[in-house]
Amino acid sequence: MAESSFIGQVYRLRASSPMPVSNGRLMLHTFGAEVNDVEIYECTQSLPASSEFRGQGLGGSLVSANFSRLGDKDGHFQGRKIFTPDYIEEDELGFNF
C-alpha cells in the first residue's frame, strides 16, 4: 500500500452559552473562531511521536491524533492529526448574518 494523505480545515465558533432576552428569545455571544488544519491519512506506516504534540516537546504543533490499524496487519494505519488552532474573527469565515 502506498502512503496517502490530504489536508483539510476544521472551523469552530467560540461562544458562550445562549442567554435569554425578551419574549423568550435567546442571544448567543460569540468571541471569535478557531481554524485547525487537519491532516487525514488514508494509509500510512508512521505514527506521530509524543514530541510532536503541544506541551510534550519544544515546538510541538499537534493538538490530537487518532489512528487505527488497517486490516492487513502489516503495520498500515489510517487516521488523522489535528494541529494547533489559529484564532480568527468570525467575520473572516463569511458566516455572519
User: What pLDDT, on the 0 to 100 scale, is given for residue 95?
Assistant: 57
Per DSSP, the three-state class of 82 is strand
Measured between alpha carbons, how far is 13 from 1 in angstroms, rounded to an integer?
Answer: 38
Residues of the chain above pLDDT 70, percent: 88
User: What pLDDT, on the 0 to 100 scale, is given for residue 67?
Assistant: 95
- Cell numbers linked to 64: 490530537
pTM greater than 0.85: no
The model's pLDDT over 85-95, given as tens digits with 9 standing for 90+, comes to: 998 876 666 65
- What is the number of alpha carbons within 13 Å of residue 1 lying toward its C-beta? 18
